[in-house]
Structure 1
């Protein structure tokens, strides 16, 4: 949802730039098959921004996070033999460079960078990697250096940024994300002090209270940031929307990505009901036999959030099994239970922890599924 009137509302609110992610899974859903049409036409989006008299920030990533399904990675990436994501792995780096170069070339061909007269002032490579880099040790440090070198080699004529990356190699600009960034200092005295995500709210989870941050607190955060030498503040989010279908990616997150934003997902829009086309994956298909748990993303190819495990037990004495308990230990988010093709109930872990499902069941002679 990015009609010109929303861009104009942002301008009327005092903004002079709009940023957007570039989602890898949407633009390359199948390896080497790209899609920049319709709502994926980011060239048109940036030109609408420029026509409104605004600038733009392009966040390539290509790992976006963004509470988006799989962080924006396409599932085919996960299934490439020998790949390790977001680390010093040559298989992954090859794919990341190919996609990044593709996006940059599309932008260059449309003259979108400010160095070409276009609206894009800044571009981002990687995303909040510094928060998890410790887990990758030396391979993570080498990966960050490679990301910087690969990005700079693109020669886009505008600065590159890395948010939440204290060791961002020069001349990459490290930036701050959070509720308050007045005490943040760039790792180079020559780098401008940038607040790339001022969290106006938070995303909504099922069963939790609606997140809220007062406008007064946000305004105080902005004022104090500029008072302490800040030069750029980006509201995250300024326009809250809806991640339809299965695109919402955080655990137990609702499809609304309203984020308590100044312009929410119902502001100035005409709503109508529309049936969402989907494949019914609840019935299960296939005939795979295994004596172990399976890697779900490799098996389902992201066609479904569900993976059915089926087994059978031969019952020959109902006096023993008439009052039985079905017990399943799981680290999944949700479990649905069936016995003899009859639904017996479900359970979910609201906080993302493992849980044990237990249900009394009545079994009968013969084979029980």
Structure 2
């Protein structure tokens, strides 16, 4: 069934075409076993009995649950990173509520493609939380949410942009988010944030605000939020790399604490202490991030993290999922959603999905 690549710098490109829970995938993968998993195993075709039996045993061990970071790392080591990513995606879409949510999102996306989507009226105020370095580079990464804000306003929905320190720490930005929420006590709210905004929103909703402060908060849309940190920061946290990085931070007048707040060690400790009130619907949107779909913006970071398992170019896939949440999977995407050629239509499909979920009578 092929051999695993020995170097993350030369990822094979094996054409693949199949479906994952009804979502068509046509790209390249890093190993023949990833191709077999998508084209044969998930389609119920027993073309390679030995590998098929191995996958059966693996899925029997997992049952209905999500694989852990360590399990995905082992799968990636034994087979390939793309096999691990596909297994994660398959298991994610088996979680309670996720199949129906994914179908609803795809249905809205098809209607938008066909020009048949209708946007119901809603009294919610959508709080927009930008990502890291959104002032200087947000127009490149999408962290400034300029295009989504325009699309939401054009569709008739009111938005409020929360002006964070573009290079602020998770803790400092959580304080700004907390103040913004408290400044809208009589509005029904939905909060949306991507990447580094994710852990700041999580800290605000899960610890800094009292449950009574959040009575009007209806939903949190977590767009690839690095809730349990990024190994990219860890990579520059010791030895000569830390010295060089510290000099860069000093020269650019950045705050080292901001980067440290996104390290995996600090982020995972923080993550374990947070409890978001149960009445708030939490939706994750994350890229499946197969090797053939990694954007130029994400590629260097994706390659850096491949030895740790499937990742979206900034974080490991399991670390993007909030507790007590439901998820929408976005094949053909990685962490940098602005690179997705369908991002405008997907933005509107996400909007429709969330609005109809929190206002089912609409």
Fold equivalence (TM over 0.5) = no
Which is bigger in relative contact order (C-alpha 8 A, separation at least 6)? 2
- Greater helix share, 1 or 2? 2
Q: Between Structure 1 and Structure 2, whose CA radius of gyration is higher?
A: 1
- What TM-score range do you get, normalising by the shorter chain? under 0.3
- Greater strand share, 1 or 2? 1
Q: TM-score, normalised by structure 2?
A: 0.27
Q: TM-score, normalised by structure 1?
A: 0.26
